[in-house]
Amino acid sequence: SQQGEEDPQALSIQEGENATMNCSYKTSINNLQWYRQNSGRGLVHLILIRSNEREKHSGRLRVTLDTSKKSSSLLITASRAADTASYFCATDVGGSEKLVFGKGTKLTVNP
């Protein structure tokens, strides 16, 4: 069953702009993760935020987590054409070993 749901489904921006993607989920979690997928390839793990954390940074990535609203956001600053990809949030369902993914946000960064 689908746990995370990303918003928007598609996002198109110019190089240098910031991109913000949101994720909402339904049940309690231990952590929330973000992945990137280039067209037709495997997913690449970007960042993990635990349920007791509110914000985390990794390079140009900033992730926030609001467990009271069951939502997370991924901010990519100073975007580059190479950031063009689909971005997925994933959650462990109720502390289980499984990751459940949303449908993803397709980001296009125009040069």
Partner 1 sequence: ETGVTQTPRHLVMGMTNKKSLKCEQHLGHNAMYWYKQSAKKPLELMFVYSLEERVENNSVPSRFSPECPNSSHLFLHLHTLQPEDSALYLCASSPWGAYDGYTFGSGTRLTVV
- Give the shortest CB-51-to-partner 1 separation in angstroms: 11
Is residue 32 helix, strand or coil?
Answer: strand
Nearer to partner 1, 45 or 54 (CB): 45
- Give the shortest CB-12-to-partner 1 separation in angstroms: 18
The residue behind tokens 């502390």 is 95
Q: Give 40-95 as a DSSP string.
A: TS-EEEEEEEETT-SEEEETTEEEEEETTTTEEEEEE-S--GGG-EEEEEEEEGGG
Nearer to partner 1, 4 or 71 (CB): 4
Q: Which residues would be at the binding site for partner 1 (CB under 8 A)? A: 2, 30-31, 33, 35, 40-45, 48, 88, 90, 92, 96-104
Nearer to partner 1, 35 or 71 (CB): 35
d(CA 71, CA 12): 22
- Give the shortest CB-103-to-partner 1 separation in angstroms: 5
